[in-house]
Chains A and B, each alone.
Chain A
Amino acid sequence: DVKVTQSSRYLVKRTGEKVFLECVQDMDHENMFWYRQDPGLGLRLIYFSYDVKMKEKGDIPEGYSVSREKKERFSLILESASTNQTSMYLCASSPSGKGIHTGELFFGEGSRLTVL
């Protein structure tokens, strides 16, 4: 079965802390994504990566960075967490080849982050 695993389901952090959200997929997918989900806003794309060490900004990259050192792993980093980053974070991957993406996404179960 297709599997995207997010290491932490629930996190509570303090303002100013550095936060790492880890995501691993076992499907050998080229493309990986980080979304943020907030009520009434749907999902918004933070960053994506279409190859190892490649990353591209999505629609709301401010306050976030990412790392993709290995094909199966895509990390989201909050350098200095703020209360407005309290949200559900969803990792996804897609099976298309390099430079091609047909939009079908496989999601992890999400990481709910609370910043106090």
Chain B
Amino acid sequence: AQSVTQPDIHITVSEGASLELRCNYSYGATPYLFWYVQSPGQGLQLLLKYFSGDTLVQGIKGFEAEFKRSQSSFNLRKPSVHWSDAAEYFCAVDTGGFKTIFGAGTRLFVKA
């Protein structure tokens, strides 16, 4: 069955430090891949997406993600974290048929 794993329930990073959030998926072919962010009390907002082509994709707010087919991974990165990046981040996979599968989320804490 298709699944999405975000191994880290929460991560704490110092402001200005780099960030990497991990995501692994299980699916036979290459799915559509997404990262969403949810600020407290808000809905989810799309950060970036990968459909095909260049495996390094750029998103909003300075985020990027790299698709690695051999590792079935789609990790999210940011070179320098800002306090406003504190939120919950969800990796998601769409395998077609309207059913997007979400990971359990990684909550990011940013310390001054």
Q: Do A and B bind each other?
A: yes
List chain A positions with a Cβ less than 8 A from chain B.
4, 31, 33, 40-45, 48, 50, 56, 58-59, 90, 92, 101-110
List chain B positions with a Cβ less than 8 A from chain A.
4, 9, 32, 34, 36, 41-46, 49, 51, 90, 92-94, 96-100, 102-105
Q: Which 8 A-B pairs have the closest CB atoms?
A: A103-B94, A107-B43, A42-B102, A43-B102, A107-B44, A42-B104, A103-B32, A109-B43
Q: Tell whether, in the assembled complex, residue A4 and residue B99 are in contact, meaning their CB atoms are under 8 Å apart.
A: no
A33 to B99, CA, bound (A): 10
B43 in complex: contacting residue of A58, A59, A90, A102, CB < 8 Å: A90
Q: A56-B98, A90-B44, A109-B43 are in contact. Are A102 and B90 (CB under 8 A)?
A: no
Q: A107-B43, A107-B44, A109-B42 are in contact. Are A102 and B51 (CB under 8 A)?
A: yes
Q: A42-B103, A44-B102, A101-B96 are in contact. List 6 more A-B contacts (CB 8 A).
A: A4-B43, A43-B102, A90-B43, A105-B46, A109-B43, A110-B41
A103 proximity list for chain B (CB < 8 A): 32, 34, 49, 92-94, 100
Q: A40-B9, A41-B104, A59-B99 are in contact. Are A102 and B44 (CB under 8 A)?
A: no
Q: Tell whether, in the assembled complex, residue A42 and residue B105 are in contact, meaning their CB atoms are under 8 Å apart.
A: yes
Q: Tell whether, in the assembled complex, residue B42 and residue A110 are in contact, meaning their CB atoms are under 8 Å apart.
A: yes
Chain A nearest Cβ from B21, distance in angstroms:
14
* Residue among B32, B46, B90, B99 with the highest chain A CB neighbour number at 10 A: B99
